[in-house]
A and B are shown apart, each in its own frame.
Chain A
Amino acid sequence: AQSVTQLDSQVPVFEEAPVELRCNYSSSVSVYLFWYVQYPNQGLQLLLKYLSGSTLVKGINGFEAEFNKSQTSFHLRKPSVHISDTAEYFCAVSLRSNDYKLSFGAGTTVTVRA
């Protein structure tokens, strides 16, 4: 079975500062990796996903993530955050099989302050 650990439950950050959200996974087989964001009172939406190819993945709203197979990590970064980036961020994995199951981490709440 696969599992996802998000190492920080809360990340406060000042506007225009960089932010990194850490995600580690464990799985005995290869996985696909995802980051979803949940803005207040909204559903989750996809930020980016890693399927194959370049280990640096660019997503929406200036976010990017890097897949590191040896460290089984998929950390999310943004070089300069805005107030509007205040949200909860979820890392998720799926197995490389024809399986519809996503396993989520517990989430990281990012609060951006002016």
Chain B
Amino acid sequence: DAMVIQNPRYQVTQFGKPVTLSCSQTLNHNVMYWYQQKSSQAPKLLFHYYDKDFNNEADTPDNFQSRRPNTSFCFLDIRSPGLGDAAMYLCATSRGTGQGSTDTQYFGPGTRLTVL
């Protein structure tokens, strides 16, 4: 089945130690997204890629970076994780072939990040 895969499902890191979360997709979608979801809160968009074009949300901290080396893979890098960065990180994709705001987004299962 075509899908969005996130690895690892659970990640533990130390305060200030860089960490990378990965996402891959077999849907061949143009758009890939990263969301941060804290407990009992709405998923919050951090950034998205349309193909290789990177789009950062205005309020995403500089501590968060992303890379998309090819269509299938996208990475979230947290350069110096703080305790406040502990959250579920969701990757999603969408086709991006029409009007973007009507697109269905397809989500991976998420990576739960713990910062010690």
On whether the beta carbons of B101 and A43 are closer than 8 Å, the reply is no
Most-contacted residue by chain B among A9, A44, A51 (CB, 10 A):
A44
On whether the beta carbons of B40 and A99 are closer than 8 Å, the reply is no
Interface size class of A (residues with CB under 8 A): 20 to 34
8 A Cβ contacts from B47-88 to A = 48, 50, 55, 57
On whether the beta carbons of B109 and A46 are closer than 8 Å, the reply is no
Residues of A within 8 A of B96 (CB): 100
Q: Mark A92-114, 1 if CB is under 8 A from B, else 0.
A: 00111111111111110000000
On whether the beta carbons of B102 and A101 are closer than 8 Å, the reply is no
On whether the beta carbons of B90 and A43 are closer than 8 Å, the reply is yes
Residues of B within 8 A of A45 (CB): 106-107
Contact partner of B42 among A94, A98, A104, CB < 8 A? A104
Residues of B within 8 A of A36 (CB): 105, 107
8 A Cβ contacts from B1-57 to A = 4, 31, 33, 40-45, 48, 50, 55, 57
A13 to B44, CA, bound (A): 28
Which residues of chain A have a CB within 8 Å of any CB of chain B? Answer: 4, 9, 32, 36, 41-46, 49, 51, 90, 94-107
Which residues of chain B have a CB within 8 Å of any CB of chain A? Answer: 4, 31, 33, 40-45, 48, 50, 55, 57, 90, 92, 94, 96, 99-110
| A–B complex contacts, Cβ < 8 Å, 8 sampled | A32-B101, A44-B92, A46-B105, A90-B43, A94-B100, A100-B50, A100-B103, A106-B40
